[in-house]
Amino acid sequence: MKRLILLSLSFFFVFTSYSSAQIVGENYEIEQQLLASTKQLNQFFKRFNGEEDVKGRTFEPDDRQYRNERLRKRYLSILFDEEDTDISSQAKNDFIERVTQADNPAFLNLHSKDWFAVVNTTFLYKGKELPLLLYMKIQKEALGYEWVIADVAFEPYKTMFDKQRGETKVFLHPMSHELDFMNLRKALLKGGVPESYTLADYKPDFLTIFLYEVKMGILQFQTVNRMNYHFFGVDGWYFSLNNFNRANDNSGWLISDLLQVNASQKEDLLKMIYEKK
Amino acid sequence: MNNQIFKRLSYVVALMAFFAVSTQAQSPVDPNREKAIDSLALEKVKDLGKYIAIIGNKDTPFSEANRVMDRAEELFAPGSEMGVSSLASEEIKYYKVREYFQRLMALNYDKVNIEWYDVQYISDLERQPDGRYVGVVTVYQKFEGTTADKLNYKDTTKKDITIYVEKKKTQIAGRTIEFWDVILGDIRVSETSV
């Protein structure tokens, strides 16, 4: 059905575009797939918002097709992964109805604070190649915008600062001040547990540790493996995008997770994505 | 070649005429200007496509391939890289633009055919902190290589090409004219399943 919609939309543009006259023979099928594929995140945004035609040409805001509700519904229906995920058609329809609601439509915006990227990378750390997640956000800076690292998740950091609590933990005894804290010498040793001598609510800042270790050359960037994007910008909903490299129309950047979430579920979900305890 | 120079010059002159009325040095790109910039960007991407086909062609003499590599390199901002991954390995390998061309030229095939699909996608232009604009043009390339013993290798790669758009100034007959220039940046090359 979706393919039919896309094909029927495509035919209109194929016959009105001079450049498409060159599409012939065996390339035709592939070019239709490439046309259908959501090739960039930019295109996902534009299709979600109903801001471009099927050939990827941007509508002017005064074009009657611009953000047209019917067009958006058609586009939105093809923006879901159809093969690897189990998003129910009920959830999909509810979501489409919500974002195209006539009196309160929802649109996506690159500059919004309600979405972020999780980039799966590999770093060389103490002689081993290890995975490291970078949480990236877009922010305004000077004359434009930039992507920045908002947080990191790295397995060796997760337990490095786990401090013991209670009677068995090591500590600086409560009269240490009378000795000019001379016992610090025994507490702060290489390979020791210096986190034991911190406040009860101490929380390590992994991003600062990461930046320090990159600067010192302890962590060395190797490569980016893959990435996905998480969106919380539609009230009451969460969805994520993944890139699907497939030889059919259902390819490119597509919604791979869709959930209806309340405020507390949103917090839990964020903790899970950020791999926080 | 003269035709090519003439075509480029006419593009620049057309863009200069188009933007000569502009007064604000850091004004945003309006939709009409964006279309003209998109055309210039696509023109540069097409030039790159032609250069890649010539460099990869086994019939191209070594000296000619080197000359074309020089021309191709001129399309890029200094330090630009190609990030390459395949279906077999999602890990991205990074090459300097020149190194990428040299690897393409040295491929161990007797015959190489490089074609481009008639599908391209141009993103919006987004402004960077330094005031320059950046966009991404996506194109698809079909590669076919045949070895001496008639073994055939085929792949289709998606190329996401960074374009930087910058407003520049030039003096013509004592008048300062502003125009937009497009230069290519990093390219992400990923093999597709099609």
Nearest CA to CA, how far is A90 from chain B (Å)?
30
Q: Which two three-digit tokens encode residue A104?
A: 């309160």
**pLDDT value at residue B7:** 52
The pLDDT tens digits of the residues spanning B150-190 come to 899 999 999 999 999 988 899 999 999 988 899 999 999 99
Q: In the predicted model, what is the mean pLDDT of residues A71-76?
A: 96
Question: Which has more pLDDT, A116 or B89?
Answer: A116
Domains delineated in chain B: 2-191 (3.10.450.50)
Q: What residues of chain A lie within 8 A of the CB of B129, using their CB? A: 141-146
Cross-chain CB nearest to A110 (options B117, B121, B126): B126
Q: First and final CA of chain A: distance in angstroms? A: 43
**pLDDT value at residue A2:** 44
Q: In chain A, pLDDT over 70 holds for what percent of residues?
A: 90
Q: Does residue A20 have a pLDDT over 80? A: no
Q: Does residue A24 have a pLDDT over 50? A: no
Give the integer Cα–Cα distance in Å for B42 and B122.
8
Question: Which has more pLDDT, A28 or B11?
Answer: A28
Q: In the predicted model, what is the mean pLDDT of residues B69-98?
A: 94
Q: In the predicted model, what is the mean pLDDT of residues A158-183?
A: 95
The pLDDT tens digits of the residues spanning A193-219 come to 999 999 999 999 999 999 999 999 999
What's the pLDDT band for B73 if we cut at 50, 70, 90?
Answer: very high
**pLDDT value at residue A263:** 96
Which three-class secondary structure state does DSSP give residue A25? Answer: helix
Chain centroid offset of residue B78 CA: 14
What's the pLDDT band for A8 if we cut at 50, 70, 90?
Answer: very low
**pLDDT value at residue B4:** 53
Q: Does residue B32 have a pLDDT over 90? A: no
Cross-chain CB nearest to A31 (options B117, B123, B124): B117
Nearest CA to CA, how far is A188 from chain B (Å)?
40
Contact B127 A60 (CB under 8 A): no
Structural contact between residues B72 and B46, judged by C-beta atoms closer than 8 angstroms: no
Q: In the predicted model, what is the mean pLDDT of residues B11-18?
A: 48
Q: In the predicted model, what is the mean pLDDT of residues A20-48?
A: 83
Contact B127 A144 (CB under 8 A): yes
Q: Does residue B23 have a pLDDT over 80? A: no
Contact A39 B190 (CB under 8 A): no
Residue showing tokens 């994520």: A240
Structural contact between residues B163 and B185, judged by C-beta atoms closer than 8 angstroms: yes
Q: In chain B, pLDDT over 90 holds for what percent of residues?
A: 71
Backbone angles phi, psi at B42, to 5 degrees: -65, -35
In terms of C-beta density within 10 A (0-12 exposed, 13-18 middle, 19 or more buried), how is residue B154 classed? exposed
**pLDDT value at residue B157:** 96
**pLDDT value at residue B19:** 45
**pLDDT value at residue A55:** 87
**pLDDT value at residue A1:** 42
